[in-house]
Structure 1
Amino acid sequence: MTQRAKVAFIGTGGTISSVGRDSLDLLDYTATGTRLEAGAILDAVPEARAVADLIPVPFRAVPSPAIGFAEWRDLVLLCERLAGDHPDLAGIVIGHGTATLEETAYALGLTLTVDLPVVLVGAQRPISALSSDAGLNLVAALRTAADPASRGRGVLVVLNDEIQAAREVTKTSVARLQTFRTADFGVLGQVDGPDVRYYRRAERQHAPGTPFDIRGLSALPRVDVSYAHADADGTAVRAFRAAGARGIVSAGLAPGMTPPAEAEALAQAAAAGIVVVQSTRAGSGVVPLTTRLRECGILSADNLTPQKARILLALALTVTADPQEVARIFATF
């Protein structure tokens, strides 16, 4: 008899764990405050145990807007402990709310210390809902984590039968099941029933082996995102400076521009020693490093969304404040 792969399932809460008032409660289910821990989620999806030998790991049961750096650090440590306690572990799946799933995935993709497939999974409909996607998403994520072909590909995100790269994927719709998309490059692969199929690899470097070690940190350097819009006058940028920001990401107008007063405030911040990175609110495409940006000392976020550029900039600032080195990091990760 072929031995099944061993996969750990960490539950952090989110829609995939949520129980609404009834099966038609698709939108206001958080009002009940009921979220299942990891073991209870697996009990609610008995098909999951047919996929792999599962280790349920309770963590927190919260909505994903409550997840940030402290949870990322604790997940890094937890994954490290699980790998040490279970040398035969094939992979780890983390159940997560979709609101910040892409941020947790990218943060872990830069900071994990384990050389195992780590897959984040969520749901657009609560586990209690009619036609919930929670169960099948979970099964697909477990199959992905258990598959040897998933090793060495960085942190993965699996929903709607699609496998996406943590760096590239973003949530694009409030309620549709196909919400997670990679605008520029598309999926890495697909899960078709029992088959995990890959078609490409993400090229940027990822954990393990990055220079970013957050295990002993109490917080990341403060980095804020300034959202550009018509008539933006730099008030937010000045407020972030006053709050002690060491870095600012500009979510600029495509292709990476801001109104004049906002541009002046960003240039002043860069001149004052704050590392400023220009991203775009468009959600797709590379911000060109124009003459204006170079003259102001502002860096390009490459094609990272503002929320992911914020994570990489904060991590970069844990190892360097040299803008040239930060630029190299953005070209690497």
Structure 2
Amino acid sequence: MAQRPKVAFIGTGGTMSSIGRDRLDLLDYTATDKRLEADAILDAVPEARAVAEVIPVRFRAVTSPAIGFGVWRDLVRLCEQQVAAHPDLAGIVIGHGTATLEETAYALSLTLTVEVPVVLVGSQRPISALSSDAPLNLVNAIRTAAAPQSRGRGVLVVLNDEIQAARDVTKTSVARMQTFRTADFGILGQVDGPSVTYYRRSERRYAPDTEFDIRALPALPRVDISYGYADADGTAVRAFVAAGARGIVSAGLAPGMTPPAEADALETAAQAGILVVQSTRAGSGIVPLTTRLHQRGILSADNLTPQKARILLALALTVTSDPRAVAEIFATY
């Protein structure tokens, strides 16, 4: 009998760990404030241990809006520790709430130091709910992390039988099962029963082959997002500057424009030495580096969503404040 692959399962909480009032509580389950730790989730999904030797790793059990840089840094360290403790580890699965799952996935895809596949997984319905997607999502994530063909593909996100790239995927719906999508390029692969099948890979640079090391950082440089809308007058931009922002991401109108007063405020910030990156609220598409942006000293986010551009800009500022070097980073990652 073949030996089962060994996979570590780190729990951070989120919907997949949540216990609602009853099986029909699909939306207000956070009111109970009850969430399972990693080992209890595995006990609730015995099938997970049938597809791999799963090592539960208690970490924390919170809602994902409470997750940010401090958790990302601790997860980088924890993944290192798991690989060191288990030299035969095939992969790592991280259970996570869907609200910030895409941000954690992208941050880890730029900062992890381990070679094994790391897969983030969540669910749209709590584990206590009728027809919860948590059990099968977890099993599929474990299968993906254990699959040899998952190596060398960066951090992966698995929900709804689909494998997505951390850089490209975003949550697109509050409650539907097919919420995680990659608008421009589509999924990397699929999980159908025991089969983990890939059809493409990401061409951008990702961990562990990156220049970003957050393991000893107390915090990331402050980077804020200014959301574009008709009549935006730059008030938010000026407030971010006053708060000490070292970078600002503009979530502009498609294809990467802002109202005149907002544009003036962004230009003033750029002239003051703050790194300003133009993204778009559209959710897909590349922001072209137009003559107007170039003249204002504003960089392009490429096709990154504002929330992911913020992460990359903050990490870039840990290694350089040269706009040309930051522009190259956005063209690389």
Matches within 5 A, 1:8-23: 8-23=8-23
Instruction: Please tell me whether residue 233 in structure 1 is matched to residue 233 in structure 2.
Output: yes
| Mapped partners of 1:164, 1:146: distance in 2 | 16
Quote the residue 2:106 is aligned against. Answer: 106
| Mapped partners of 1:71, 1:5: distance in 2 | 27
Shift in Å at residue 125 of structure 1? 0.1
Shift in Å at residue 191 of structure 1? 0.1
The amino acid of 1:27's aligned partner reads L
| Mapped partners of 1:328, 1:81: distance in 2 | 32
Quote the residue 1:122 is aligned against. Answer: 122
| Mapped partners of 2:246, 2:183: distance in 1 | 30
Quote the residue 1:177 is aligned against. Answer: 177
| Mapped partners of 1:100, 1:329: distance in 2 | 23
Quote the residue 1:132 is aligned against. Answer: 132
| Mapped partners of 1:80, 1:127: distance in 2 | 28
| Mapped partners of 2:331, 2:52: distance in 1 | 38
Shift in Å at residue 7 of structure 1? 0.1
Quote the residue 1:61 is aligned against. Answer: 61
- State how many pairs are aligned: 333
Matches within 5 A, 1:151-300: 151-300=151-300
The amino acid of 1:141's aligned partner reads A
- Structure 1 counterpart SS, 2:175: coil
The amino acid of 1:328's aligned partner reads E
| Mapped partners of 1:13, 1:57: distance in 2 | 12
| Mapped partners of 1:269, 1:208: distance in 2 | 33
Structure 1 unaligned segments of length 5 or more: list them.
Answer: none
- The superposition leaves residues 80-117 of structure 1 with CA deviations (integer Å, 9 ceiling, x where unpaired) of 00000100000000000000000000000000000010
| Mapped partners of 1:170, 1:42: distance in 2 | 26
Instruction: Please tell me whether residue 32 in structure 1 is matched to residue 35 in structure 2.
Output: no
State the TM-score, normalizing by the size of structure 1: 1.00
The amino acid of 1:135's aligned partner reads P
Shift in Å at residue 122 of structure 1? 0.1
- Structure 1 counterpart SS, 2:47: helix
Shift in Å at residue 267 of structure 1? 0.3
Quote the residue 2:150 is aligned against. Answer: 150
The amino acid of 2:179's aligned partner reads T
| Mapped partners of 2:51, 2:172: distance in 1 | 29
| Mapped partners of 1:157, 1:4: distance in 2 | 22
| Mapped partners of 2:158, 2:222: distance in 1 | 30
- Structure 2 counterpart SS, 1:46: coil
- Structure 2 counterpart SS, 1:10: strand
Quote the residue 2:7 is aligned against. Answer: 7
| Mapped partners of 1:138, 1:85: distance in 2 | 23
The amino acid of 1:222's aligned partner reads R
- Structure 1 counterpart SS, 2:328: helix
Structural RMSD (CA)? 0.3
| Mapped partners of 1:207, 1:116: distance in 2 | 11
The amino acid of 1:265's aligned partner reads A
- The superposition leaves residues 185-216 of structure 1 with CA deviations (integer Å, 9 ceiling, x where unpaired) of 00000000110000000100000021100000
| Mapped partners of 1:201, 1:62: distance in 2 | 32
| Mapped partners of 1:126, 1:57: distance in 2 | 20
| Mapped partners of 2:44, 2:156: distance in 1 | 24
The amino acid of 2:128's aligned partner reads S
Quote the residue 2:80 is aligned against. Answer: 80
Structure 2 unaligned segments of length 5 or more: list them.
Answer: none
| Mapped partners of 1:173, 1:30: distance in 2 | 18
Shift in Å at residue 265 of structure 1? 0.1
| Mapped partners of 2:203, 2:43: distance in 1 | 37
- Structure 1 counterpart SS, 2:16: helix
Quote the residue 2:315 is aligned against. Answer: 315
| Mapped partners of 1:194, 1:29: distance in 2 | 31
| Mapped partners of 2:74, 2:263: distance in 1 | 37
- Structure 1 counterpart SS, 2:152: coil
- The superposition leaves residues 163-203 of structure 1 with CA deviations (integer Å, 9 ceiling, x where unpaired) of 00000000000000000000000000000011000000010
